[in-house]
Each structure stands twice: as C-alpha cells, then as structure tokens.
Amino acid sequence: MEPVLPPIGMLAELTHRCPLQCAYCSNPVELLKANREMDTGGWISLFEQAADLGVLQVHLSGGEPTLRTDLVELVRCLAQRGVYTNLITAGVGIAEGRIEALAEAGLDHIQLSFQGAFATTTEKIGNARGAHEKKIETARRVRATGLPLTINAPIHRHNMNEVPDFIDLALDLGAERLEIANVQYAGWALLNRDALMPQRAAVERQVLIVEEAQERLRGIMTIDFVTPDYFAIYPKPCMGGWARDAFMVAPDGTVLPCHAAATIKTLQFERFGDRPLSEIWHDSAAFKAFRGTDWMQEPCRSCERKEIDWGGCRCQAMAIAGDAAASDPACIKSPFHDRMGALIDQATGKKSSDGTFAYRRIGRMSEPMV
C-alpha cells in the first residue's frame, strides 16, 4: 500500500438548495433541506482543518452556493489561509453587489453554468423562465470585477447541437475558459439517463467540433472537454483516484471521496465534527476501501493503466455492474463494457427525446415546465 498523501483539492457542496431544477444534476435524488446544512461555524472549522491538512484549492458548489448568506465569510476564511477558491454557480438571483463583495473577500475564480447556448434551451433544461438573461448579466458583472471566468456547458442529447454556439457565447462573454462537460450519470442525471443520452453520431460530431475549436482558439480561450463515459474506451481517474488527492463534503458535513459515493450502500461515511478531518482522510474505512490498487480485481489488477485511471469510477461500477469493486464498465477491457453500449441503444431507441424530465427539486419531483 502506497503512503497516504495529503489531499490538495476539496469540493464543498454548501447547500442542495437551487433556483434551477436541472434534470442532469449530479446531486443525490434525496436532497437535503436547509435545516440539515452545516452552519457557518462548522464550515469554517472544516476549512481551517482542510488547510492544515494540505488542501490548496476549494470548489464552492451546491445546489446554488450563493444562497448561503454566509458565503462571503466562508470565502474570506479560505482566502486568509491562502487557499484558492472557485465559486461554481448557476448565476441566477445573485444580489447586487454580492459578486463584488466576494471578490473583495478574496474569491479567486467563478465558474458559471449555462444549460443552453440559447434562452429556450436554458429554460427547458433548468425549468426556470428568464434564467438565461440573468446568467449573461452575471457573466458581465464577473468580468467587470476582473475575476477570471469559466463557462461550464453540461452537454447531453438536448443541447449537444449547440456546442458551436456555446463556444461563441463563451467568447462573447470574455471567458478565459470553456468546459464542454458531457453529463456523467449520477443522481438526478442517472434518473433521467434515457432522456439525456445522446446518439453516438452526435457525440462523434461533437468531438470533431471541439478539437477544431481547441486548435483555432489556442492562446485565446482554453476549451476543456469532459468525455462522455458511456462512449469512452478507457475510464477517467474519478476525482484523481478514490481518496488519492481530493474529497468532497455534502451540505450536512458528510465527508465523501466523490460526489456520488453515497450510492455505494456497503460503505459508511463519516460526518465532520464527529471526527477530525485528518482522521477521516487517513483512517476512514470508506476512504481506504478503494484507495490505491490493492483492492482491484482482474483485469484492473494486472493492467498497465491501473496507476493512470486508478480503476475509474466506483460509483459507475456499482450502478452498472452491481459491484463497486468491479472494473469500470467505461473501460474496453471490462467484462461489463458491452452493458454501456446496450444502455445507449436502450436510451436512444426510446421515444424519450422530447424533454420530458423528472426535474430536480427538494422534497418531491416536479412537473415539467409548460
């Protein structure tokens, strides 16, 4: 077993509350209400311990993190410890002066999500009228503060044809970076998988469009591309590998190796406050379960890629193979790889492309916007 190194990254899901109801959201289907969120003191204590542990960057996410009234205070705490902060926001309903206050508190970067390159798509996917215009205004305000801006475009069947338009939109908004992030099927996205899954030909066209734009815009705007797992040959190293250099924290303080880890019901995850963060990182049985390579089965155990992708996604193995220790079905060497193709065929063969989603909502599933 290799030595456990300090984590360098942390995803902090401050809340599950959100003004949008995106069908592709990776939050769990059982969303936590506001009264289960960790309070200001709890988050500050967690951030202090994270900095002591070695964390260098924190991604502040949700839900919608700007719904936390203490967000400026949390950013200031991290900035005072020299921790890089990235705010991941839907950019809807942010009060006047809030972005400026966050910048003054020491925020380093803002990542703004767009559900579509056009208003009609944004409203259909997020189930919220007027959201697109609010996002554009937020982007303008971010740039006015001088903060670096990334546009995040979660891609699926209903907006994949807008990839060239996302590129134009990001350029128009002055973004330094565009993330073309094909949806990964966890949480609400898994629930809506059949309605979100793109056609294979559309994915192949998308790859060519992105590669051309990456070359054309080199030195002007960085374009990152997140490959869709179901169409991949090899898996990605999820979160850099299970509990290798990053972790996430749910709104109630539960510490997890990744955002979907709670779907593995054989593992018990600990809550910050019940135990110090350092002990959870080093000694938690759930964190040790798939750390390194000793846990691997064949073909992973003898694979030359095992310290490149670290076995891929354990949650995806659980969802598709029914065994969190199985080889990631995204890998062509996996005995479960054919199941990915079958799921693509199942989804794209259905008449489910009209945008009828189970929209994300705390408490109950919402009806489609009409």
Task: List binding-site positions.
Answer: 18, 22, 25
- Kindly calculate the radius of gyration of the chain based on its CA atoms and give it in whole angstroms: 20
Integer CA distances (angstroms), 218 to 15, 139, 225, 258, 279, in order? 36, 22, 14, 31, 43
CA distance 306 to 328: 11
**Amino acid of residue 277:** L
DSSP string, 158-226: TTGGGHHHHHHHHHHTT-SEEEEEEPP-STHHHHTHHHHPPPHHHHHHHHHHHHHHHHHTTTT-EEEEE
CA distance 23 to 7: 31
Q: Name, in order, each residue with C-beta under 8 angstroms of 132's C-beta and a sequence gap of 6 or more.
A: 114, 116, 118, 119, 122, 123
Tell me the C-alpha distance between 155 and 157, whole Å.
7
Contact of 43 with 18, CB cutoff 8 Å: no
Query: Quick check: bond before 299 cis, omega within 30?
Result: yes
* Pair 33, 362: CB distance under 8 Å: yes
Binding site feature residues for [4Fe-4S] cluster: 18, 22, 25
